[in-house]
Structure 1
Amino acid sequence: MTENKTAEADTAIGSIESDIVYAVHDGIELRGDFYRPSGAGPFPVVVAAPGGGWFVSDPRGLKSWGLHLARQGIAVFAVQYRAALAEKTFPGAVCDVLAAIQFVRASAARFAIDPERIGLMGSSAGAHVTALAALAGDSPRFQDRQPVGGHTGIETSVKAFAGIYGVYDMFAHWQHEITDFGKAGERRSECFIGVPPYEDRQLYFDASPISHVRRAANKLAVFLAYGTADHVVSPSTQSEAFRRALKQAGFPVAECPVVGAGHFWFSDEPIEEPGSHSGFIAPRLLRFFKRHL
């Protein structure tokens, strides 16, 4: 595996390594950016997946959060995953996240991280694929699709998951897209899975994190943030329904509804801006990871 990377120093953190190739799946080099805190470590680490409606996956969209958490002593590996624009990627995108977990765990000495203190974070579509990795990473549907080579065989479990306005029920989201958007080209969930639910309902069930909520897995700590005025991803059928299911199964859940917020603010709004939605959840998200990693 080739690895093209650039490194830069940040006086407030240890360093940033960009364009690290963490896996090659189906001939595609998957890359990520690593934000290392200052000091000797070992540090807890969060593997983070950006949003993009399953059509775009650019880890640079998480730079502000990588810097913010690294300045507080938490390493971040912001990763690319395969996008539906190039090919129908379920369950490939989830396998990409699992490979990223394996990469950081196998690279613990290199990055000065604690391999037993790994968490996941994602926004929108990124929350969807990371939630699946957190709840169903050991499922045969995902494990059997893991490419041979690389760091396969390394444990993929995590201690905590933070989802920001994520999709957790794919059938409900497909219905929401039809109701609110209508055009076939805007049914991104259908493009991601490859077929409409009336052709293969099982795929939508398997691709929904809410389907994988099991009492046996309730040691996973969960943080859910969402805007109460989100018209892109319905709060009631996604984050709120997911929170109820998790609590019913005994998961420790920290919920952070952001009153009046819509979609996109997690990547678009400056964390340091007074009154910003990102600034509102930042201390709560940090407290969650400090407590559970």
Structure 2
Amino acid sequence: MQRRAAYQTDHTSLMTARLHLLMALFCALGSLPGFAGDLPTTDIEYGNVDGLPLKLDLYLSQTKAQPLIVYVHGGAWRGGSKSHPPILALQQQGFAIASVDYRLSTEAPFPAQVHDIKAAIRFLRAQASVYGYDASRIGIIGTSAGGHLAALVGVTNESKELEGSVGGHLDQSSTVQCTVSLFGASNLQTILSQSTEQGLKMRVPALQLLLGGQPTEKPDLAKLASPVAHLDPKDPPLLLVHGDADPQMPPEQSVELAKGYAALKLSVQHVVIPGGKHGGPEFFDADRIGLMAGFFQAHLHKP
């Protein structure tokens, strides 16, 4: 009986120790970037259009109430995905990141893409208390076509014309507090006249899919899709980064948007990378990540 009692005591102690170990393991997992306990952080459905699910990925950390950065991928509006966002180094700079998929132009023409991104932002605000980031401090960043869409979202804060109703949560705001556009478009009415021969090979078919025709054939839609056409004194701070040797997206596109901001005395920073092409490691090296982190820290600070 004594041996049985001793065995039961030892067995209970062992089980208790194992339970404590498991609890410690789950706590440790909960502190890892991109892990939120038993909550999903990948392929989170933020909306559904005619049976097509719209999804995003979250990259979180142990620190709560972080500002949130929404990343919009490029791909000439007709390709690309939310996977492997190139800005993940910003997670180590004190930001939560949401990488968003949206309907490509092969699935739906403009303005579906903007409707989807704004829907994702409304969803992210509605879920802030669940995941722990600060929904009052949201910035947006995009590359190439994603840079264009990010800029368009930024300059159409509170615009009913481009809000849409995808995903619901219409009681939430899709407003962003600042914008970063990396080698993105800003004026679809001038982009072809500024393009190189290589650029035209990319942009002509891409615009055909996005607008359902060329800008000269769809002037009103091309204007609606152009960030420069929506500027007003309430637009949020903007950072533009573009290579001066970009063969695909004319550097003049960023120049136009920077000039439009400056004319309204809005906060804008236009950084030109000498010899920079269309993307590449120089856009995400330590200097550029530091530049973006500083910009977001300055404009997503707590009031």
TM-score (norm: length of structure 2): 0.82
Following superposition of structure 1 onto structure 2, how do residues 52-71 of structure 1 map, counting pairs within 5 Å? 52-62=75-85, 64-66=86-88, 68-71=89-92
> Partner residue of 2:97?
76
Q: Which amino acid aligns with 1:228?
A: D
Which whole-Å CA distance do the structure 2 matches of 1:248 and 1:54 have between them?
29
Alignment of 1:125 with 2:145, yes or no, is yes
In structure 2, relative to structure 1, the CA distance for the partners of 1:57 and 1:182 (3 Å cut) is: closer
Of residues 224, 245, 248, the one that matches 2:263 is 248
> Partner residue of 1:100?
120
Q: Which amino acid aligns with 2:284?
A: S
Give the number of the structure whose residues are more often strand, by fraction: 1
| Aligned residues of 1:18 and 1:33 also touching (Cα < 8 A) | yes
> How far apart are residue 174 of structure 1 and its match?
3.3
> How far apart are residue 32 of structure 1 and its match?
1.0
Q: In structure 1, the residue corresponding to 2:42 is in which secondary structure? A: strand
Compute the RMSD of aligned alpha carbons. Answer: 2.2
> How far apart are residue 240 of structure 1 and its match?
1.0
> Partner residue of 2:134?
114
> How far apart are residue 38 of structure 1 and its match?
2.4
| Aligned residues of 1:82 and 1:92 also touching (Cα < 8 A) | yes
| Aligned residues of 2:196 and 2:247 also touching (Cα < 8 A) | no
Alignment of 1:290 with 2:297, yes or no, is yes
Which whole-Å CA distance do the structure 1 matches of 2:102 and 2:160 have between them?
20
> Partner residue of 1:32?
56
Which whole-Å CA distance do the structure 2 matches of 1:159 and 1:277 have between them?
22
In structure 2, relative to structure 1, the CA distance for the partners of 1:14 and 1:52 (3 Å cut) is: closer
Q: Which amino acid aligns with 2:242?
A: Y
Q: Which runs of 5+ in 2 are unaligned?
A: 1-27
> Partner residue of 1:213?
231
> Partner residue of 1:174?
192
- Deviation larger for 112-121 or 129-138: 129-138
Following superposition of structure 1 onto structure 2, how do residues 13-32 of structure 1 map, counting pairs within 5 Å? 13=33, 15=35, 17-32=41-56
> How far apart are residue 25 of structure 1 and its match?
2.3
In structure 2, relative to structure 1, the CA distance for the partners of 1:177 and 1:228 (3 Å cut) is: closer
Q: Which amino acid aligns with 1:34?
A: L
In structure 2, relative to structure 1, the CA distance for the partners of 1:92 and 1:175 (3 Å cut) is: same
Which whole-Å CA distance do the structure 1 matches of 2:84 and 2:34 have between them?
20
Alignment of 1:135 with 2:155, yes or no, is yes
Alignment of 1:150 with 2:168, yes or no, is yes
Of residues 203, 215, 226, the one that matches 2:221 is 203
Bigger CA radius of gyration? 2
> Partner residue of 1:44?
67
Which whole-Å CA distance do the structure 1 matches of 2:255 and 2:172 have between them?
33
| Aligned residues of 2:186 and 2:227 also touching (Cα < 8 A) | yes
In structure 2, relative to structure 1, the CA distance for the partners of 1:205 and 1:186 (3 Å cut) is: closer
Of residues 179, 189, 193, the one that matches 2:211 is 193
Which whole-Å CA distance do the structure 2 matches of 1:25 and 1:204 have between them?
24
Q: Which runs of 5+ in 1 are unaligned?
A: 1-7, 270-275
In structure 2, relative to structure 1, the CA distance for the partners of 1:229 and 1:177 (3 Å cut) is: closer
> How far apart are residue 47 of structure 1 and its match?
0.9
Q: Which amino acid aligns with 2:216?
A: Y
> How far apart are residue 184 of structure 1 and its match?
8.9
TM-score (norm: length of structure 1): 0.84
Give the count of matched residue pairs.
Answer: 268
Of residues 179, 197, 203, the one that matches 1:161 is 179
